[in-house]
Chain A
Amino acid sequence: MKPYLAQAKTEIKLALTQGESLLVTIGIPVIVLVGLSLTKALPLPSTAKSATEFLVPGTMTLAIMATGMVSTSIATGVERSYGVLKRLGTTPLGRPALMAAKITSILVVEVVQLAVLAVIGLLLGWHPVGNWGLFVVSAILATSGFAGIGLLMAGTMKSEVIIGAANGIYLILLFIGGIIMPISSLPGALETFARLLPAAALSESLYHSIGIGGTIPLWAWLNMIIWAVGAPLIAAKSFRWEQ
């Protein structure tokens, strides 16, 4: 227990003190939320009565994706290429406790991010409608999926490649993840493709659980469950501890 606590404390501290990482995990989601709520520069879903109803769930999706996938892949990739993971292998920490500490750190950072976005959303006039229980379930499923993708990258790619790839995927999903504009405004084939990726399912689920209410569609549940189970499994199978 003591090694796990020491590791979790350090992971959280590192995650919350790195400038580049904070830009992606908190800075960009906040800028997108404030900017698009005030300017209404992009289309909103026809079901939305206000911009924040759509953009708060959207930017929370972006935040979860940033921590689960971008930060995790880059940080763990660096640890792998610098021999940190190797070095930890012969300490009493052990791999299960290391993984548990990483998950703890991801969840703590997400709570901070979501709290910041919720407060800003409320200031911008957001009135959450829906079911917070579904919000929590969706967020956890999506975190597992994104963290799985992040660890898959961290365990198989070189650290310089990871930085480019993770930020690239972040940018693509920002546009086709139902985050800044509804996927229904995408061309037909791209919309179908977007539904297969993990971001759109989460933004759709959050839109219903804390945006406008209503039921989360089946495709979104299926998508989140498949990514939540599949990505960590593939990551675990392919993870190489030493570069």
Chain B
Amino acid sequence: MTTIEVNDLYIAYGEKIAVAGISFQADSSEVLTILGPNGAGKTSTVESVEGYRKPSRGIIRVLGLDPYKDLPKLAPSIGVMLQDGGIYPRMTPLQALRLFHGYYRDPLDIDQLIQLVNLQGALRTPYRRLSGGEKQRLSLALAIIGQPEVVFLDEPTAGIDPEGRLAVREVIRNLKSKGVCILMTTHELDEAERLSDRIIILDRGTIVAEGTPEQLMTASRGDSIRFSAPGGLDLSQLELEIGASVAEDRAGEYTISAEATPERIAKLTSYLASKNIAIGDIRAARSSLEDVFFALTGKTMDPETQDKPARERGSRRQR
């Protein structure tokens, strides 16, 4: 049995289609990341798999159960980190941990958990006065306290502090070694690349790419040489000279789609020298997930424009 199975998931809010028929699976000991820009449908997807909403169409199974219908049966086996809040503002981390400790049959030891997410210094501070990073770390601890088989992390590193980033990595490593299946969403390409076994790139409710981080990066443009020089160079002559295809991405910015061998760079510079063309900079570039993402969606990942629904941003300001 696959831990998470999603088949032809379709989510519409009235007229607006948030997710248009996607399918994916995730297994135990696997980190599956859903990566996507604003309004791509990431949170809608995860919240459907968590059992918060009934999909308009499609079948979801988590540990063989329908998360929407069988949520009471499924709840003891899953751990959830929501994008925002979820803790009573007057409650301290210690109170919250003790409360959640009481919900589960075989919970983790509270002291060990506090060490793991490094919350020793904030145990008696009311939730509303915690820093953003401390809130995230508490939320992470509460997601794993019940020793779940499946963990959902919705933007676990959004607005997090360096300690939290380390805690997230540590926790994910830990969970994986215990055979836990992790479904995560993120905007952060670095984190996705570092932590995921597989990545799904979601754009406007459809999957535009899927694979391991390595597969995705080789599937795109591979290695390249980038350089800047005056705009409008004669590309065909340059291509002939260096034996690889060249593109002018933006005026004055060029990419050679070939490995950055010393010979090739030497050919490039000698060609430019022979034409007396000034060169701005030159660098060997490995294609990154960022490139893949840009190539697939035509968008950049800007952490400032995260897809928080407006209402959540509103409630954030009240604090």
Instruction: Indicate if B318 sits at the interface (CB-CB under 8 A).
Output: yes
Which residues of chain B are within 8 angstroms of A2 by Cβ–Cβ distance? 102-103, 105
CA distance A84 to B315 in the complex (A): 13
B75 x A90 contact (CB < 8 A): yes
Which residues of chain B are within 8 angstroms of A82 by Cβ–Cβ distance? 85-89, 315
A83 x B84 contact (CB < 8 A): yes
A84 x B87 contact (CB < 8 A): yes
B318 x A160 contact (CB < 8 A): yes
Contact partner of A87 (CB less than 8 A), chosen from B87, B89, B95, B318, is B87
Instruction: Indicate if A78 sits at the interface (CB-CB under 8 A).
Output: yes
Which residues of chain B are within 8 angstroms of A13 by Cβ–Cβ distance? 95
B102 x A5 contact (CB < 8 A): yes
Q: A90-B50, A92-B146, A160-B318 are in contact. Are A243 and B86 (CB under 8 A)?
A: no
Instruction: Indicate if B108 sits at the interface (CB-CB under 8 A).
Output: no
Which residues of chain A are within 8 angstroms of B90 by Cβ–Cβ distance? 14, 18
Query: For residues 44 through 84 of chain A, which have their beta carbon under 8 Å from a beta carbon of chain B?
Result: 78-79, 81-84
Chain A interface residue number, banded: 20 to 34
B99 x A6 contact (CB < 8 A): yes
B-contact 0/1 string along A160-180, CB 8 Å cutoff: 100000000000000000000
Q: A90-B75, A91-B75 are in contact. Are A84 and B85 (CB under 8 A)?
A: yes
B91 x A91 contact (CB < 8 A): no
Query: For residues 72 through 89 of chain B, which have their beta carbon under 8 Å from a beta carbon of chain A?
Result: 72, 75-76, 78, 80, 82, 84-89
Query: For residues 141 through 174 of chain B, which have their beta carbon under 8 Å from a beta carbon of chain A?
Result: 142, 146
Query: For residues 1 through 17 of chain A, which have their beta carbon under 8 Å from a beta carbon of chain B?
Result: 2-3, 5-7, 9-10, 13-14
Residue pairs across A and B with CB atoms within 8 Å: the count is 79
Which residues of chain A are within 8 angstroms of B85 by Cβ–Cβ distance? 82-84, 87
Which residues of chain A are within 8 angstroms of B51 by Cβ–Cβ distance? 89-90
Which residues of chain A are within 8 angstroms of B104 by Cβ–Cβ distance? 92
Query: For residues 175 through 222 of chain A, which have their beta carbon under 8 Å from a beta carbon of chain B?
Result: none
B103 x A90 contact (CB < 8 A): no
B91 x A94 contact (CB < 8 A): no
CA distance A5 to B82 in the complex (A): 24
Instruction: Indicate if A86 sits at the interface (CB-CB under 8 A).
Output: yes
A91 x B86 contact (CB < 8 A): no
Instruction: Indicate if B100 sits at the interface (CB-CB under 8 A).
Output: yes
Question: How many whole Å from A85's CB to the nearest CB in chain B?
Answer: 9
Query: For residues 88 through 116 of chain A, which have their beta carbon under 8 Å from a beta carbon of chain B?
Result: 89-94
B-contact 0/1 string along A10-32, CB 8 Å cutoff: 10011000100000000000000
Chain B interface residue number, banded: 20 to 34
A6 x B315 contact (CB < 8 A): no
A-contact 0/1 string along B92-109, CB 8 Å cutoff: 000100111111110000
B86 x A3 contact (CB < 8 A): no
A7 x B99 contact (CB < 8 A): yes
CA distance A140 to B75 in the complex (A): 33
A81 x B91 contact (CB < 8 A): no
Q: A82-B315, A84-B87, A92-B146 are in contact. Are A6 and B103 (CB under 8 A)?
A: yes
CA distance A83 to B71 in the complex (A): 18
Which residues of chain A are within 8 angstroms of B294 by Cβ–Cβ distance? none
B76 x A92 contact (CB < 8 A): yes
Which residues of chain A are within 8 angstroms of B100 by Cβ–Cβ distance? 91
Highest count of chain A CB atoms <10 Å: which of B51, B78, B102, B311? B102
Highest count of chain B CB atoms <10 Å: which of A83, A92, A93? A92
Contact partner of B88 (CB less than 8 A), chosen from A3, A9, A78, is A78
B102 x A83 contact (CB < 8 A): no
Which residues of chain A are within 8 angstroms of B72 by Cβ–Cβ distance? 92, 94
Instruction: Indicate if B24 sits at the interface (CB-CB under 8 A).
Output: no
A10 x B99 contact (CB < 8 A): yes
Q: A14-B90, A78-B89 are in contact. Are A87 and B99 (CB under 8 A)?
A: no
Q: A10-B95, A160-B318 are in contact. Are A92 and B88 (CB under 8 A)?
A: no
CA distance A83 to B86 in the complex (A): 4
B91 x A14 contact (CB < 8 A): yes
Highest count of chain A CB atoms <10 Å: which of B100, B101, B146? B100
B102 x A3 contact (CB < 8 A): yes
A79 x B71 contact (CB < 8 A): no
Which residues of chain A are within 8 angstroms of B78 by Cβ–Cβ distance? 90
Residue of A with least CB distance to B88? A84
Question: How many whole Å from B15's CB to the nearest CB in chain A?
Answer: 20
Highest count of chain B CB atoms <10 Å: which of A5, A13, A89? A89
Which residues of chain A are within 8 angstroms of B82 by Cβ–Cβ distance? 83, 86-87
B102 x A89 contact (CB < 8 A): no
Q: A14-B91, A243-B311 are in contact. Are A90 and B102 (CB under 8 A)?
A: no
Which residues of chain B are within 8 angstroms of A91 by Cβ–Cβ distance? 75, 100, 103, 146
A94 x B88 contact (CB < 8 A): no
**17 new A-B contacts at CB < 8 Å, known A18-B90, A86-B82, A87-B80:** A2-B105, A6-B99, A7-B103, A10-B91, A14-B88, A14-B91, A83-B84, A84-B85, A84-B88, A87-B82, A90-B50, A90-B71, A90-B75, A90-B80, A91-B146, A160-B318, A243-B315
- 7 pairs, CB–CB < 8 Å, chain A vs chain B: A6-B103, A82-B85, A84-B85, A90-B75, A90-B80, A92-B103, A94-B75
